[in-house]
Chains A and B, each alone.
Chain A
Amino acid sequence: NAGVTQTPKFRILKIGQSMTLQCTQDMNHNYMYWYRQDPGMGLKLIYYSVGAGITDKGEVPNGYNVSRSTTEDFPLRLELAAPSQTSVYFCASSYLQMNTEAFFGQGTRLTVV
């Protein structure tokens, strides 16, 4: 049981480039989230999804897009990378009905130069 798996672990992007952060979970969780964590700061919600085909914006969605075509996968897309998007990105999942623990992936450290 792998839990929540994120790829890649590290990435350096040039300004204006695009990339997709991958996230997959094998716990059959219906809720999935993307957070960003800036140095010394808390976790800010970017997007979340309550199930396949349903996504919604969090606190800081600008510059990002998501899709949820399956229960397992929740990729995060950066279209035009900017230095302000330098951060650590965490994907998480949880089980909706019981409002239970969110399990986090190991994080992706992204630097935009």
Chain B
Amino acid sequence: GENVEQHPSTLSVQEGDSAVIKCTYSDSASNYFPWYKQELGKRPQLIIDIRSNVGEKKDQRIAVTLNKTAKHFSLHITETQPEDSAVYFCAASLAGGTSYGKLTFGQGTILTVHP
């Protein structure tokens, strides 16, 4: 089945700096790559996603890039703010058959933004 590796496990930045989190996936059939943010004690919530027919997607300070050949995708947060502090999860979804839509998550990255 699909395996998603996420790095780094922890990331500490100063307010205003950029943060980059990277993920690799194993199954070339995966075609949907969402990123979730989980604040302490709360549920994961989608912040951005990308599909395999797109190389890059931006939403204000957040961007995601996808390299299908290398099977990796990254989350970029610019001008970080203290409220960006949270755990971020990448995920990959398989396409085809009964595995369609089954999300496999990475291990998570704890992002801390220092004021």
Name the prevailing secondary structure of the A interface residues: strand
Contact yes or no, A90 B89, CB < 8 A? no
Q: Residue B34 contacts which of A31, A42, A101, A105 (CB distance < 8 angstroms)?
A: A101
- A50-B101, A56-B98 as given contacts; A101 in contact with B89, CB under 8 Å: no
Contact yes or no, A102 B103, CB < 8 A? yes
Contact yes or no, A90 B102, CB < 8 A? no
> How many A residues touch the partner, as a band?
20 to 34
Query: Number of B residues whose C-beta is below 8 Å from A?
Result: 25
Q: Closest chain A residue to B41 by CB distance?
A: A107
Contact yes or no, B46 A43, CB < 8 A? no
Q: Residue B98 contacts which of A50, A94, A107 (CB distance < 8 angstroms)?
A: A50
Question: A67 interface residue, CB < 8 Å from B?
Answer: no
- Stretch of B11-19, B55-63, B64-72, B104-112 at the chain-chain interface: B104-112
Q: Which residues of B contact A (CB under 8 A)?
A: 1, 6, 31-32, 34, 42-46, 49, 51, 89, 93, 95, 98, 100-108
The list of the 6 closest CB pairs from A to B, nearest first, reads A104-B43, A43-B105, A42-B107, A99-B32, A101-B46, A42-B108
Q: List 7 A-B contacts (CB under 8 A).
A: A50-B100, A50-B101, A59-B1, A99-B95, A101-B46, A102-B103, A106-B42
